[in-house]
Every structure is written in C-alpha cells, then in structure tokens.
Amino acid sequence: ARSFIQEELIEWATRNPDVQVETVIKRNKHPVLIGEYVWGSSKVINVENEGIESVFNVAQRLRNSSGRKMTRLKEPVKSNVPSIQGVWAPHVPLQTLTFEMEHQIY
C-alpha cells in the first residue's frame, strides 16, 4: 500500500480530477483507503500487505461506486408497460441486420 502511495497516487489523482485525494500518515496503524461520498456515507477498506495492483483496483472500485448500500431485490422486476424496442434475445444476428438512417434538421 505504501508503494502505491509513493509511486502511483499522484498520477492516479491527476487522471481522476473529480476525486479528492488526501494522505495522512499514522504511526502503528494499518494502511486503509476511505471513500467518502456526497451522500454522507463512507467505505473503509483495509489494504494491509496488498500490492500496487491490488490497491489500484480498490481505489478504482471506491471511485466507481456510488457509496450507497447494496440492496438485494426479493422479486424480479416487472413492468406493466412493454418495451417499445421489443424483447431482447441473445441469438439475434446483429451482424447481418441492415439499418437505414435519415438525418432531419428541425
């Protein structure tokens, strides 16, 4: 985790300007990544004895998540309004279909 902070953190922070990065050194404490979200919630993930790639993946996961708790749906989602695009099927040969498009300016 310390090697990620020393080698990769500045580059990662410049590639993700929407993320605020703050480092705090605490003696005799395990390194952790804390994600604080707009909603007021936070996630704390211990990265003790993790390599650079693993810490990078944890930082990406914290950045990509919304911060809200995961909720399991008890029943399948059903809609009373059918889709205007039709039902999706995995066996539709999209490579053989042809599409015609018209461009209109209003």
Mean pLDDT computed over 46-64: 89
Question: Is 80 exceeded by the pLDDT of residue 23?
Answer: yes
pTM score > 0.85 for this model?
no
Mean pLDDT computed over 22-34: 85
Mean pLDDT computed over 10-37: 86
Report CA dihedral (94, 95, 100, 105) to the nearest 10 degrees.
Answer: 80
Q: How far is CA 16 from CA 13, 21, 40, in A?
A: 5, 10, 20
Question: Is 80 exceeded by the pLDDT of residue 94?
Answer: no
8 A C-beta contact, residue 55 and residue 32? no
Residue type, 35: G
Distance between CA atoms of 60 and 56, rounded to whole angstroms?
6
Mean pLDDT computed over 61-74: 84
Q: What is the pLDDT of residue 104?
A: 79
Report CA dihedral (9, 14, 16, 20) to the nearest 10 degrees.
Answer: 70
Residue type, 27: R
Torsions phi, psi for 55 (to 5 deg)? -65, -40
